[in-house]
Chains A and B, each alone.
Chain A
Amino acid sequence: EAQVTQNPRYLITVTGKKLTVTCSQNMNHEYMSWYRQDPGLGLRQIYYSMNVEVTDKGDVPEGYKVSRKEKRNFPLILESPSPNQTSLYFCASSDDRGGTGELFFGEGSRLTVL
C-alpha cells in the first residue's frame, strides 16, 4: 500500500530535550516536506526537499532541522524543543515528474512540549 508513515504519532516532551520525528514514504517520490498545523493558521511549511541531499527552508524553519540522506526518509529534528513548537506536524511527499504534484500526507504527529 502506498503510504507516508510518521512516528511517533503522539509525543509529550519537555523543553530542551532533543527529539526526532521520522517520516518514510514508499512511493519513490523525490519531493518531501514537513508542515505544522496550528489553530487559525492553517498549515505552514517548515522544510522541503527536492531530492536526496537537497533541502530548503519553508516559511517557518526556525527551531527545526531536517536531513535527506535517503530518498524514502525525511526526518524532522527538534534540537531544543520549546513550548511554541507544540503543534500537529505533517510529513508529505509528492511525485513531481508529471501529473498534478498533489501531496500525499502522513497521518500526523501531535507534539506537546512542556
Chain B
Amino acid sequence: AQKITQTQPGMFVQEKEAVTLDCTYDTSDPSYGLFWYKQPSSGEMIFLIYQGSYDQQNATEGRYSLNFQKARKSANLVISASQLGDSAMYFCAMREPRTYKYIFGTGTRLKVLA
C-alpha cells in the first residue's frame, strides 16, 4: 500500500542554520509526484516544492530544496538559512497519477530558535 512516513514529530533548529526534514515513501507505481507543504500556526496550507519521479535533478525553490533519492525512496526537505518564520508544521505528500489519490505524512513540527 502507498505510504508516506515522517519519523520526526518535532525538530529544533537555530536561526540561520540549515535543517533537513525526513520523508520516506512507498509505492509500486513508477510514476508519482512528491510534495512538501507548510502549515504555519495560523492553519493555512502552503505549497513549497514538487519533485516528479522521473525528474533527474533535485527540485529547488529559493531556500527550499528536495533531496530526492529514488532508490532509497526518500524525499527529504532541506531548508537553508532558517528564519523564525519557518517555524511551522511541514507535511510530505505523494500523488499517484494513476489513481489521483494524495497521501500525506503525519508531519514534522519545526521550531526555529533565535
Q: How many A-B residue pairs have CB under 8 A?
A: 59
B40 contacts the other chain (CB 8 A): no
C-alpha spacing A44/B50, complex, angstroms: 19
C-alpha spacing A105/B102, complex, angstroms: 13
Would you give the shortest CB distance from A45 to chain B, in whole angstroms?
5
Considering only residues 1-52 of chain B, those with a C-beta below 8 Å from chain A are 4, 6, 33, 35, 37, 43-45, 47, 50, 52
A108 touches which of B43, B105, B107 (Cβ 8 Å): B43
Which stretch (A17-25, A69-77, A96-104) binds chain B? A96-104
Question: Would you call B100 and A31 a contact (CB within 8 A)?
Answer: yes
Number of interface residues of A (CB under 8 A): 26
What residues on A are CB-neighbors of B33 within 8 Å?
A: 100-101
Most buried by A among B44, B100, B107: B100
What residues on B are CB-neighbors of A102 within 8 Å?
A: 35, 47, 50
Would you give the shortest CB distance from B41 to chain A, in whole angstroms?
13
C-alpha spacing A43/B44, complex, angstroms: 13
Considering only residues 62-114 of chain B, those with a C-beta below 8 Å from chain A are 91, 93, 95, 99-107
Give per-residue flags for A30-43: 1 if the beta carbon is below 8 A from chain B beta carbons, else 0: 01010100001111
Question: Would you call A42 and B106 a contact (CB within 8 A)?
Answer: yes
What residues on B are CB-neighbors of A48 within 8 Å?
A: 100-102
A43 touches which of B43, B95, B100, B104 (Cβ 8 Å): B104
Asked, given contacts A102-B35, A108-B43, A108-B44, whether A41 binds B100 with beta carbons under 8 Å apart, the answer is no
Tell me the A residues contacting B by CB distance below 8 Å. 31, 33, 35, 40-45, 48, 50, 56, 58-59, 88, 90, 92, 96, 100-105, 107-108
Interchain residue pairs with CB less than 8 A apart (12): A41-B106, A42-B4, A42-B91, A43-B104, A44-B104, A45-B102, A102-B35, A103-B47, A103-B102, A104-B47, A108-B43, A108-B45
